[in-house]
Structure 1
Amino acid sequence: MAEVAIRTENLSVSFAGFRAVDGVDLSVEAGTIHALIGPNGAGKTTCFNLITKFIRPSSGRIWLGEQDITALEPDAVARLGMVRSFQISAVFPGLSVLENVRVALQPTLGVTFQFWRSNRILRRLDDQAMALLDRVGMAAVAGERAADLSYGRKRVLEIATTLALDPSVLLLDEPMAGMGAEDVAMVANLIREVGRNRTILMVEHNLSVVADLSDRITVLQRGQILAEGSYAEVSSDRRVIEAYMGEEVTDA
């Protein structure tokens, strides 16, 4: 039986009487790339925020491996090995690429995000930071300001900062949002590479990327699971087609 990295049971949340996520039972196998998709308003990001503990569920449970994390705070979950990105790039624009990664690596020195620490101390992280930048193909721009990077490169830098925490489970919230075709290909290749030795759960609108990267797909509609399976299975499911096209599919 496959090892499960993330599991939810009857996961639900309501806002002012509106059921945004309704009884979601999700299971993400360890070592796979699992996509969470659905039409606008399906509850994907809300479900994502519940799993990563940025929203507290109204009911249900969440497990990371064998550990029940339902009552934990986001920082505690991150220390257990589950780290997330956001829809909007979350890098420090005034810092260099190298400095951004050094900030993310500070916990390895026993401190967390202390900008006032001396350069002499932080330079101890340079080799580790450069190795990480080389891994994501950004070593050549280590000295550039993050603000001067293309949007796609900023997303790559953000993934590099999440990898600095060496997570076993990485959650990516719309990693391709707002990108051109060249940047999409670059980030897709990076996700495929970093997914070789960890579990990835991603929310993504670009269905060609989902088809290319995902081992398994969960489709949400109105806060509930509509379908699950491979891309071939869910893309041929008439319920999924109706949800995306907004019309009933009939046999020819």
Structure 2
Amino acid sequence: MAADTILQTEGLTKDFRGFRAVDDIALTIQRGTVHALIGPNGAGKTTCFNLLTSFLSPSSGRITYKGLDITGMKPAAVARLGLVRSFQISAVFGQMSVQDNIRIALQRRRGHSYDFWRSQRTLDSLNEEAAALADSVGLSDFLATPASALSYGRKRALELATTLALDPEMLLLDEPMAGMGHEDVERTTELIRRIARSRTILMVEHNLSVVATLSNTITVLARGKVLAEGDYNTVSSDPRVVEAYIGSGHA
């Protein structure tokens, strides 16, 4: 595994009762880059994410992160190593404030998962770090706001803040722009760009203009296999990629 490689898969395969969702995938993610997984619906993108973060176990193949074989490791153990994912559906505590959502995530990183009974002094010790994380995702003015009162785009920003609270070295983003309007897409694109300055990012995203704007490398999946890989100009001009998208009803 090369020194500049942070994550690598070899022969990654997942079968579901005779259906092969992921078929012999070899991925190499370079440290400090934004790498996108794209492809038509059913291409195997989310299954691949679930395999990389151990929410699913592969039928065969190997996953290596920072030189360590993490194949079959428990999801929490993978997260503790610095490989953390966000989900397509926003997952925040709606009745709690932005600050409290972030403080809970900070407690998790320190090994005190969901300790609501901890003293106010202990919780207050996390305020400065929580405020800094809120500022990093553009939520400084919303610290006291219940998460349920945030716009959809700002809820996704809060989810990113709680993910960043775990201090991941590599971040996996599952459709971060899903359901967003134009203004929220622009705000979140800029947020991801800032985050990427100090972390490696692997993302699944259907918005191809976002993929073109953010990604250093793009891997195109179709029917569970790698169809093409390269920068945006390379993959967008590949006839196989054009056929895969047109054939699936995508632009």
Same fold (TM over 0.5): yes
User: 1:250 maps to which residue?
Assistant: none
Pair 1:190-2:195 in alignment: no
Name 2:245's counterpart in structure 1: 244
Match of residue 228 from structure 1: 229
Does the C-alpha gap of structure 1 residues 80 and 108 become closer, same or farther in structure 2, counting only changes over 3 Å? closer
Counterpart residue identity of residue 20, structure 1: A
Residue 67 (str. 1) matches residue 90 (str. 2): no
CA deviation vs aligned residue, 1:136-191 (integer Å, no higher than 9, x gap): 11111100000000000000000000111111000000000000000000000000
**Which letter maps to 1:145?**
P
Superposed CA deviations along residues 74-123 of structure 1, whole A, max 9, x for unmatched, are 10011100110000001111100000000000145441222222323211
Q: Distance in 1 between matches of 2:66 and 2:110?
A: 27
- Residue 132 of structure 1: how far off its partner (Å): 1.1
In 2: Cα distance, 1:77 partner to 1:46 partner:
16
Measure the CA separation in 2 of the matches of 1:97 and 1:238.
46
Q: Which consecutive unaligned segments of at least 5 residues does structure 2 have?
A: none
Q: Quick check: 1:44–1:220 contact (8 Å CA) kept in 2? A: yes
Matched, 1:106 2:107: yes
- Tell me which residue corresponds to 2:28: 27
SS in 2 for 1:101: helix
Name the aligned partner's letter for residue 61 of structure 2.
Answer: G
Partner of 2:165: 164
In structure 2, what is the Cα distance between the partners aligned to 1:131 and 1:70?
34
User: Aligned equivalents of 1:33 and 1:105: distance in 2?
Assistant: 25
Over the matched positions of the two proteins, sequence identity in percent amounts to: 62
SS in 2 for 1:36: strand
CA RMSD of aligned residues (A): 1.1
* Conservation of the 8 A alpha-carbon contact between 1:11 and 1:25: yes
Contact preservation (8 Å) 1:81, 1:169: yes
Aligned counterpart, 1:54: 55
Cα distance change, pair 87–108 in 1 and its aligned pair in 2 (3 A): closer
Name the amino acid aligned to 1:224: K
**Secondary structure of the equivalent of 2:153?**
helix
The alignment partner of 2:206 has SS state of coil
Report runs of 4+ in structure 1 exceeding 4 Å deviation. Answer: none
3-state SS in 2 of match to 1:19: strand
Letter of the 1:55 counterpart: L
**3-state SS in 2 of match to 1:113:** coil
Q: Per the alignment, in what secondary structure is the counterpart of residue 242 of structure 1?
A: helix
Deviations 1:223-243 (A, max 9, x none): 000000000000000000000
The residue that corresponds to 1:137 in the other structure is 138
Measure the CA separation in 2 of the matches of 1:132 and 1:234.
35
1:2 CA displacement: 5.9
Structure 1 unaligned segments of length 5 or more: list them. Answer: 248-252
User: Would you say the 8 A contact 2:98–2:145 is kept in 1?
Assistant: yes
SS of the aligned residue for 1:8 comes to: strand
Whole-angstrom CA distance in 1 between matches of 2:181 and 2:106: 30
**Residue 37 of structure 1: aligned partner:** 38
Q: What are the equivalent positions in structure 2 for 1:210-225 lying under 5 Å apart?
A: 210-225=211-226
Distance 1:107 1:57 in 2: 27
Q: Give, as a single letter, the amino acid of the residue that structure 1 aligns with 2:34.
A: I
Q: Is the 8 A contact 2:14 2:23 kept in 1?
A: yes
Aligned 8 A contact 1:170 1:198 in 2: yes
